Amino acid sequence: MKLLPEKEEMSFFAIFKLLKFNFIKLSTWVLGITLVVIIYSFIMPNTYSANSSVLPPSKEGQSGGLSSFIQSFAGGLTIPGVSQSDQSKLFGEILYSRTVVDYIIENMSLRALPQFKDIPREDLQNFISGSLEVTVDKTGIIFVTANYQTGYFPSQEDKQKAAEFSSGIVNFAVEGLDHVIKNRTMTNARKSREYIQSELVGYKSKLDSIATLIEKFQIENKVIAIDEQTQAIVTQAIEVGTLIVQAELELNLARLQYNTASPQVSFHENQLKLLKDQYSKIQYGGLTPSDAFSISLDKVPTLIKEYTELFRERKIVEQVIVYLETQKHQEAIQENRDVPIIEVLDIAIPAEKRTSPQRSLMVVLSLFLSSLFVTIGTVIYAYRKGNLYLIGSQD
């Protein structure tokens, strides 16, 4: 009876001898697996991708003025203090929204296509949303990608349709984003215009009330142009005051030359009295009771203060009305402006080459992986059967 040699420890030399001994068998397995992978790569679904890039949102309208405040108040997308990159991310999230997805479905007439005809709407929305890939780089540029697969055993026509379908998803997604933002902007502009219009009504009513107060003030206090009136009254008072001084001098001279009861002295006395009466009337509201343009000088400081407050308030309200009118016209223009808001840098075009399968990579990977697994499987099988030790011990 022949005794078997004792088992030795497994060595790389033994594994090498085993693989060499089974080289043809192993090669057949590897080539067979690789051939199957190659055949499968010709019948498996082909994936086509399309790409588009969108410029970052414009910084216009973020000055923080009344228009920006109103947009923020109304829920606008342009928010003061939010960075450009954050707005790009916001736009990227909008691309995944149901509104944009529905826009793609409607404009591509997907319900009319046989493959989507019987799919529930929610599943179709999830499919379209899942086909999109949106990334935003550090500069704020938005990159939009869509992937679409053919069925098994794809024909050249199926491949062309898949390429066109993926580019259509991307372009309509960008168009849908523009549609959503444009509608939002126009809605906010309408709300802003209506808000400004309501404010205008209030300020115009306030201006009318101030005008009524000014008119009443002018009538009651005989004020038309208080500065000019005051200057005229002061000038008139100075002139009459000068005449009073002259009359007093002439009266004194007459008293020296004539008797106190003489007509000459009486004339100068009456003249002086008349001038003093006129001076007093000038001080307290005009030369005659019917004077509609003279005001009392002792009331001038108070009148100037009251008139200045009314005049200032009127000017402020007038400036606010002018500003609101300007904003109203701007919002009206924005409300009716039908121009693209999204600036597309690169439009998506149908891909000429498929994204997958990549046959060269599949062949390389299949050769490597099949060789690895076949080798490991052969070694494990020989080890369990004891053949590995026998091969190692024969030398």
Sketch the domain layout of the chain as residue ranges: 10-16+23-41+359-395, 203-324
Q: Minimal CA–CA distance to 391: which of 14, 3, 12?
A: 14
Contacts of 68 (CB under 8 A, 6+ apart): 61, 62, 78, 80
Q: Among 27-36, 60-69, 125-134, 184-193, whose mean pLDDT is lowest? A: 60-69
Q: Does residue 357 have a cis bond before it (omega within 30 degrees)?
A: yes
Among residues 324, 314, 294, which one has the least CA distance to residue 212?
314
Examine the pLDDT at 319 and tell me if it is beyond 60.
Answer: yes
| pLDDT-based confidence at residue 16 (cuts at 50, 70, 90) | confident
Region of 345 please: left (phi>0), alpha (psi -120 to 50) or beta: alpha
For position 376, what pLDDT does the model report? 87
Q: So what's the pLDDT on residue 316?
A: 87
Q: Quick check: 286 pLDDT over 60?
A: no
So what's the pLDDT on residue 51?
95
User: Taking every pair of C-alpha atoms in the chain, what is the biggest distance, in angstroms?
Assistant: 187
Count CA atoms closer than 13 A to 365's CA, side-chain side: 9
**pTM for this prediction:** 0.62
pLDDT band at 230 (very low <50, low <70, confident <90, very high): low
Question: What pLDDT digit, counting tens, does each position of 145-180 carry?
Answer: 999 999 999 999 999 999 999 999 999 999 999 999
